[in-house]
Amino acid sequence: AKSAGGNRYEVADAEADARAITRHGLTTALPAALDRGEFFIEYQPLVHLGDGTVHGAEALVRWLHPQHGVLGPDRFIPLAERTGLIVPLGRWVLEQSVRQACAWQERNGGTAVKPLRVNVNLSPCQLTHPGLVQDTVDILERAGLEPEALCLEVTESALIGADDSLLKPLRRLAEMGVDIALDDFGTGYSNLANLRRLPVSVLKLDRSFTQSMQRFPADPVDLKIVDGIVSLAHSLNLTVTVEGVETGAQAEQLRILGCDTAQGWYYARPGPPDRLHELALVDATG
């Protein structure tokens, strides 16, 4: 048993080494990847739970690595955060997404549907970067997108214990009309009363809540928790979005609980920007 254990550790060590080597390789390749245009964005629709119409989409970045193929954000965002590349990369994602939202709106111009909106993730490093507000203003103006069509998603953990210097840029963006969403809500330890202090207008319930709605009827305690969060959010004038909706039963429970918008594989996986336009057009005509 001892020698088997030893082998297991050797294998584990080798895997850890391989991961470290890949991590190192990816980290050094990151800056050039941005210059070479190896990043691309997929968009995942956000849907109104009430009537199923498309509300907008969340921008999710990917890296088409010349050797490793398509890498998800979990593979490289932490590295980009550690090296500071997240600032130019995040700015690139924001600019692309804002331009894309304009393109959707232009193509939808003649129809009665509400303008499509776009959600963009902000890393904590971007929050502390002094250029955030001005960059966002410039990007919106250059593209000609109204600030109301942009939602910036910030994780709950990034804002826990945030002091005023962190909240100030978010407050300025919110005053301009940009929506701020509290992402992955329920995974951190933030005090619900703390919500009042934050310049957020959207609460994005983490996928773990959606998962607990898998059985129908769901666990009564889970139902009460979500019900309580939704009531509190609405009483504070916040919109509630749920992520990770994979089944119709989940969608139905969350709709009954009063959640406003939803996102997940049940509606669509993240995909190319044109697919969102097709979904929205189906709304407009059907």
Q: Say whether residue 153 binds Ca ion (CB under 5 A).
A: yes
∠ Cα 98 44 109 (to 5°): 50
Cα separation, 26 vs 166, in Å, equals 29
| Binding span for ligand C2E by CB under 6 A among 24-32, 186-194, 223-231, 257-265 | 257-265
Task: Indicate the pairing of strand 239-242 with strand 202-205.
Answer: parallel
Q: Which residue in the set 215, 265, 272, 274 belongs to the binding site for ligand C2E (CB under 6 A)? A: 265
Sites for Ca ion among residues 111-140 (CB under 5 A):
121
Q: Which residue in the set 50, 72, 177, 248 belongs to the binding site for ligand C2E (CB under 6 A)? A: 72
Cα separation, 18 vs 68, in Å, equals 13
Q: Say whether residue 57 binds ligand C2E (CB under 6 A).
A: no
Sign for the pseudo-dihedral over CA of 159, 243, 217, 236 = positive
Q: Say whether residue 244 binds ligand C2E (CB under 6 A).
A: yes
In this complex, which beta carbon is closest to ligand C2E, that of residue 81 or of residue 284? 81
Q: Say whether residue 184 binds Ca ion (CB under 5 A).
A: yes
Burial class (CB in 10 A: 0-12, 13-18, 19+), 212: middle
Q: Say whether residue 61 binds ligand C2E (CB under 6 A).
A: yes
> Taking a C-beta distance cutoff of 8 angstroms, is the pair 191, 161 a contact?
no
Q: Say whether residue 84 binds ligand C2E (CB under 6 A).
A: no
Sign for the pseudo-dihedral over CA of 188, 193, 198, 200 = positive
Size of the site for ligand C2E (CB under 6 A): 21
Size of the site for Ca ion (CB under 5 A): 7
Q: Say whether residue 74 binds ligand C2E (CB under 6 A).
A: yes
- Which spans of this chain sit near ligand C2E (rule: CB under 6 A)? 44, 60-61, 72-74, 77, 90, 93, 121, 123, 183-184, 243-246, 263-265, 270
